[in-house]
Chains A and B, each alone.
Chain A
């Protein structure tokens, strides 16, 4: 039995994807005879989109053994309890997609069925009032989960971060270099393939230096230097489902205490993000060029900043979709080189993270077993499809008809998966999460409820509890959630006490 272990891995491209991959591999292969190199050029800027994350990022940081407060200080991070969607259902309406759950399940039945039962009898309290994260976000509060409070909502506070992706990459670069990753400064100019098997043999830099490796990881961004330009893998276009194809990004001055949530505000031909960090605010406008000119989009973005813009907006052009193969021969694409979906639900960094995790599970040897590669591609495609369907839900379930773009969104095509989810919810409020699906029942519930999808019924077993009992339980849960929220400190106070960035950093990294 001969296993031919991979001896060398070359990552092409720095940025968040490249350095997350390098950091993870340097940790996991710490005692292993594996040479890891990363080629990046200071001349090429990084996209740096994806400053907002979802709670799974905590697992990645824990795997690396990163001290959370040190990481927050180094990346100017703030805490995040969810995403607010403003104007998505209709103008003037907003809701929060929280990271925590609603109420408390009873007798094996999800909480919202009890709420639906009461609601259908005239109960007026809205579902979000039963979520600690919603209350805390609205009031600008934050607290990490309290140990030994297993029976309290305070013991289960799920959270993520909003951070400066450039600083995060820098932080991980230090981490990876300290563990032996070799950073090579240079710009990849040429690639050469093995004549026999078509695998990538080496990459050459502008100055003529040539680097070969057993395995290459393409983190070169949209261009896909290796996966596309060298291997011509092909791209699957998902514009029919998600038509936005441009983004403008600009940082602005911080003018008030940072919110513990990311805001997404619907605009006439797309939406605008607002990500408050400790030292500045990240802003961007995602739009569809079929319905809006670039100068109009820039004007909307700049007119809707809370503080002064700190530089001119930079534009990104993208086609939503993915490479036909995420892993092709001995090249694996991670991050934007693998595919792109707008950061409406802060999934960019997560897709990098899950790609790394899958790679670790299916890490090859030099025989590059086709079954492993096929499995990686199958699982990654499935994850992309689930995320895409969740994003489509936000657009398709709008009540807006005030622009051509939103009228188009109301008629976006739906996959069978999404149609089934919607039908189940509409009928009796059922919410299901497929195994390996990123967004859980609470996420689907939050967005379906927020977008105005109203179930006709609810789980029939709720009725067996009796109306008075249901009402009494709802009131009790409401008071516990309210008291828990009151117990949480202000977000900025929590940061100041535990993880405030150094003041001298506040003027840098714009």
Chain B
């Protein structure tokens, strides 16, 4: 029988390191120590968007939505508004429309669009109109339409999240000659910290993404300020290399410094921690688990890079293949990855204006008049539901009241 891991050391002074420390300590019950090279936290706007999936995982680790809502600056969000070549489209979190007759909704929408429908795909989520009209309601069964439930995320200030996670957790200083005593060493040193602030704009429940030439510019509204992020292509030397060797594993930016979409940075880190817990080795750090971690991780990063390349106009064979098949008939091949799924490709591609030429012929199991009727009825229900969402400012006031926080208002 081999000896289990007893002590984990995390290297890093940023949000990724403190988040790793928090999650691993909460979920494994092992002794987790963090070693920091600086007293000033390395913060990045990349960590200010928490997607619905990230919120769920944080909840699982013991950090509730209520906790996060109570952080200074936190602002609920329904997704992103994306501008490209003079056109603006929405990409709400969660599903759009309902699958009918065993066929994905986007195929039915495509068919109707080819027949002249002018309503955008995203309009079949209640979040779409709410984003347009600056309204908000959290998902719950009262605003559920059959199987269609919109989702919400959260914008947080990285400094506030850092402080919350680092509470009562003292980092050890790193100094030359330090011999870190641990069975497993996790390198979470961020390489591109930086917080850029902009003038406060309208407080709205979505981020703004603007595609510029070879670059993505993102504005993330918080309460009281807006954070800016510029996402540019990686340098050609940024390769995807196995992050785990021996008893040392890199996570987050320390593992792969390539560009990451807002929301994906935290989701990716949580995924890495989840995988690490699932494949937690014994103190001998057997190569079988290391190899499996590296294999899964590399596949995930390649898919993330491919998706990001859609926004940055960089050549990526994987993205080209996905896009080519999607543009032909709206189909995305079944993926083995969990960070980027088939539905992510569909929603991102449509939000960027890639409209497939054909739809799944099985959509015709609904005849034309039935399709028109179903789409019309669904749209009506979606609009009714989102019309009942309160104005965002009213919702925020209610939140403040519930949290006993009267002084901070939108």
Chain A residues within CB distance 8 Å of chain B:
1, 3, 5-6, 28-32, 63, 108, 120, 360-365, 369, 371-372, 375, 378-379, 420, 423-424, 426-428, 430, 432, 434-436, 456-457, 459-461, 463-464
Interface string of B272-302 (1 = CB under 8 A from A): 0000011111100010110110010000000
Q: Is A375's CB under 8 angstroms from B5's CB?
A: no
B178 CB-CB contact with A under 8 Å: no
Q: Is B28's CB under 8 angstroms from A464's CB?
A: yes
Q: Is A461's CB under 8 angstroms from B28's CB?
A: yes
Closest residue of chain A to B104 (Cβ to Cβ) is A361
Could you tell me the distance between the alpha carbons of A360 and B367 in the complex, rounded to whole angstroms? Answer: 17
Q: Is A375's CB under 8 angstroms from B364's CB?
A: no
26 contacts between A and B (CB under 8 A): A5-B361, A28-B362, A28-B365, A32-B364, A63-B102, A120-B1, A360-B362, A361-B331, A369-B328, A369-B329, A420-B292, A420-B295, A427-B286, A427-B289, A428-B282, A430-B279, A430-B288, A435-B335, A436-B334, A459-B280, A460-B280, A461-B30, A461-B277, A461-B280, A464-B28, A464-B29
- A457-B2, A463-B4 known; A375-B361 Cβ under 8 A: no
Cβ contact of A460, chosen from B281, B357, B364, B366, cutoff 8 A: B281
Could you tell me the distance between the alpha carbons of A436 and B334 in the complex, rounded to whole angstroms? Answer: 8
Interface string of B1-41 (1 = CB under 8 A from A): 11011000000000000000000000111100000000000
User: In the complex, which residues of chain B have a beta carbon less than 8 angstroms from the beta carbon of A362?
Assistant: 331
Could you tell me the distance between the alpha carbons of A428 and B278 in the complex, rounded to whole angstroms? Answer: 11
Give 20 new A-B contacts, CB below 8 A, not counting A29-B365, A463-B4. Answer: A28-B362, A31-B365, A31-B367, A32-B365, A120-B1, A361-B360, A363-B361, A371-B325, A378-B333, A379-B333, A420-B291, A420-B295, A424-B288, A428-B286, A428-B289, A436-B336, A456-B2, A457-B282, A461-B28, A461-B30
User: In the complex, which residues of chain A have a beta carbon less than 8 angstroms from the beta carbon of B291?
Assistant: 420
Distance (whole angstroms) from the CB of B356 to the closest CB of chain A: 10
Q: Is B336's CB under 8 angstroms from A372's CB?
A: no
Q: Is B334's CB under 8 angstroms from A460's CB?
A: no
User: In the complex, which residues of chain B have a beta carbon less than 8 angstroms from the beta carbon of A363?
Assistant: 360-362
Q: Is B282's CB under 8 angstroms from A375's CB?
A: no
Distance (whole angstroms) from the CB of A405 to the closest CB of chain B: 30
Could you tell me the distance between the alpha carbons of A28 and B277 in the complex, rounded to whole angstroms? Answer: 43
User: In the complex, which residues of chain B have a beta carbon less than 8 angstroms from the beta carbon of A434?
Assistant: 336
- A424-B288, A424-B289, A461-B280 known; A372-B362 Cβ under 8 A: no
- A32-B365, A428-B281 known; A461-B29 Cβ under 8 A: yes
B114 CB-CB contact with A under 8 Å: yes
B324 CB-CB contact with A under 8 Å: yes
Could you tell me the distance between the alpha carbons of A214 and B324 in the complex, rounded to whole angstroms? Answer: 25
User: In the complex, which residues of chain A have a beta carbon less than 8 angstroms from the beta carbon of B333?
Assistant: 375, 378-379
B248 CB-CB contact with A under 8 Å: no
Cβ contact of B288, chosen from A28, A108, A423, A460, cutoff 8 A: A423
Cβ contact of A30, chosen from B114, B286, B360, B365, cutoff 8 A: B365
B354 CB-CB contact with A under 8 Å: no
B372 CB-CB contact with A under 8 Å: no
Cβ contact of A371, chosen from B288, B328, B359, cutoff 8 A: B328
User: In the complex, which residues of chain B have a beta carbon less than 8 angstroms from the beta carbon of A378?
Assistant: 333
B164 CB-CB contact with A under 8 Å: no
Distance (whole angstroms) from the CB of A391 to the closest CB of chain B: 22
Q: Is B277's CB under 8 angstroms from A427's CB?
A: no
Could you tell me the distance between the alpha carbons of A31 and B364 in the complex, rounded to whole angstroms? Answer: 8
Could you tell me the distance between the alpha carbons of A28 and B336 in the complex, rounded to whole angstroms? Answer: 28
Could you tell me the distance between the alpha carbons of A463 and B5 in the complex, rounded to whole angstroms? Answer: 10
Distance (whole angstroms) from the CB of A109 to the closest CB of chain B: 9
Could you tell me the distance between the alpha carbons of A295 and B259 in the complex, rounded to whole angstroms? Answer: 67
Closest residue of chain A to B295 (Cβ to Cβ) is A420
User: In the complex, which residues of chain A have a beta carbon less than 8 angstroms from the beta carbon of B279?
Assistant: 430
Could you tell me the distance between the alpha carbons of A29 and B329 in the complex, rounded to whole angstroms? Answer: 19
Q: Is A457's CB under 8 angstroms from B1's CB?
A: yes
B84 CB-CB contact with A under 8 Å: no
Could you tell me the distance between the alpha carbons of A32 and B365 in the complex, rounded to whole angstroms? Answer: 6
Could you tell me the distance between the alpha carbons of A286 and B272 in the complex, rounded to whole angstroms? Answer: 45
User: In the complex, which residues of chain A have a beta carbon less than 8 angstroms from the beta carbon of B278?
Assistant: 108
Q: Is B365's CB under 8 angstroms from A430's CB?
A: no
Distance (whole angstroms) from the CB of B133 to the closest CB of chain A: 33
B358 CB-CB contact with A under 8 Å: yes
Distance (whole angstroms) from the CB of A269 to the closest CB of chain B: 34
Distance (whole angstroms) from the CB of B4 to the closest CB of chain A: 4
Could you tell me the distance between the alpha carbons of A436 and B341 in the complex, rounded to whole angstroms? Answer: 13
User: In the complex, which residues of chain B have a beta carbon less than 8 angstroms from the beta carbon of A364?
Assistant: 361
User: In the complex, which residues of chain B have a beta carbon less than 8 angstroms from the beta carbon of A463?
Assistant: 4
Q: Is A430's CB under 8 angstroms from B292's CB?
A: yes
Could you tell me the distance between the alpha carbons of A471 and B325 in the complex, rounded to whole angstroms? Answer: 53
Could you tell me the distance between the alpha carbons of A428 and B277 in the complex, rounded to whole angstroms? Answer: 13
Could you tell me the distance between the alpha carbons of A428 and B27 in the complex, rounded to whole angstroms? Answer: 19
Closest residue of chain B to A32 (Cβ to Cβ) is B364
Q: Is B277's CB under 8 angstroms from A108's CB?
A: yes
Closest residue of chain B to A427 (Cβ to Cβ) is B288
Q: Is A464's CB under 8 angstroms from B30's CB?
A: yes
Distance (whole angstroms) from the CB of B121 to the closest CB of chain A: 17
Could you tell me the distance between the alpha carbons of A428 and B367 in the complex, rounded to whole angstroms? Answer: 54
Closest residue of chain B to A463 (Cβ to Cβ) is B4
Distance (whole angstroms) from the CB of A417 to the closest CB of chain B: 11
Distance (whole angstroms) from the CB of A183 to the closest CB of chain B: 23
Distance (whole angstroms) from the CB of B402 to the closest CB of chain A: 30
Interface string of B332-373 (1 = CB under 8 A from A): 011110000000000000000000011111101111000000
Could you tell me the distance between the alpha carbons of A379 and B5 in the complex, rounded to whole angstroms? Answer: 39
Could you tell me the distance between the alpha carbons of A371 and B356 in the complex, rounded to whole angstroms? Answer: 14
Interface string of B359-397 (1 = CB under 8 A from A): 111101111000000000000000000000000000000
Distance (whole angstroms) from the CB of B139 to the closest CB of chain A: 23
Q: Is B324's CB under 8 angstroms from A371's CB?
A: yes
Could you tell me the distance between the alpha carbons of A463 and B282 in the complex, rounded to whole angstroms? Answer: 11
Distance (whole angstroms) from the CB of A129 to the closest CB of chain B: 22
Cβ contact of B361, chosen from A3, A371, A435, A464, cutoff 8 A: A3
Q: Is B325's CB under 8 angstroms from A375's CB?
A: yes
User: In the complex, which residues of chain B have a beta carbon less than 8 angstroms from the beta carbon of A31?
Assistant: 364-367
A1, A32, A364, A456: which has the most chain B beta carbons within 10 Å?
A: A1
Distance (whole angstroms) from the CB of B102 to the closest CB of chain A: 8
User: In the complex, which residues of chain B have a beta carbon less than 8 angstroms from the beta carbon of A28?
Assistant: 102, 362, 365
Distance (whole angstroms) from the CB of B185 to the closest CB of chain A: 16
Closest residue of chain A to B184 (Cβ to Cβ) is A460
User: In the complex, which residues of chain A have a beta carbon less than 8 angstroms from the beta carbon of B362?
Assistant: 28, 360-361, 363
Q: Is B280's CB under 8 angstroms from A435's CB?
A: no
Closest residue of chain B to A364 (Cβ to Cβ) is B361
Closest residue of chain B to A436 (Cβ to Cβ) is B334
- A32-B365, A428-B281 known; A435-B334 Cβ under 8 A: yes
Closest residue of chain A to B29 (Cβ to Cβ) is A464
Could you tell me the distance between the alpha carbons of A432 and B331 in the complex, rounded to whole angstroms? Answer: 27
Could you tell me the distance between the alpha carbons of A371 and B333 in the complex, rounded to whole angstroms? Answer: 11
Q: Is B288's CB under 8 angstroms from A426's CB?
A: yes
User: In the complex, which residues of chain B have a beta carbon less than 8 angstroms from the beta carbon of A108?
Assistant: 27, 277-278
Could you tell me the distance between the alpha carbons of A457 and B30 in the complex, rounded to whole angstroms? Answer: 18
3 closest Cβ contacts across the A-B interface?
Answer: A460-B4, A464-B29, A427-B288
Could you tell me the distance between the alpha carbons of A495 and B409 in the complex, rounded to whole angstroms? Answer: 66
Could you tell me the distance between the alpha carbons of A459 and B280 in the complex, rounded to whole angstroms? Answer: 7
Distance (whole angstroms) from the CB of B245 to the closest CB of chain A: 17
Distance (whole angstroms) from the CB of A466 to the closest CB of chain B: 10
Closest residue of chain B to A434 (Cβ to Cβ) is B336
User: In the complex, which residues of chain B have a beta carbon less than 8 angstroms from the beta carbon of A457?
Assistant: 1-2, 282
User: In the complex, which residues of chain B have a beta carbon less than 8 angstroms from the beta carbon of A5?
Assistant: 361, 364
Closest residue of chain A to B115 (Cβ to Cβ) is A1
- A369-B329, A427-B288, A428-B286 known; A1-B358 Cβ under 8 A: yes
Could you tell me the distance between the alpha carbons of A365 and B277 in the complex, rounded to whole angstroms? Answer: 46
Could you tell me the distance between the alpha carbons of A420 and B279 in the complex, rounded to whole angstroms? Answer: 14
User: In the complex, which residues of chain A have a beta carbon less than 8 angstroms from the beta carbon of B360?
Assistant: 361, 363
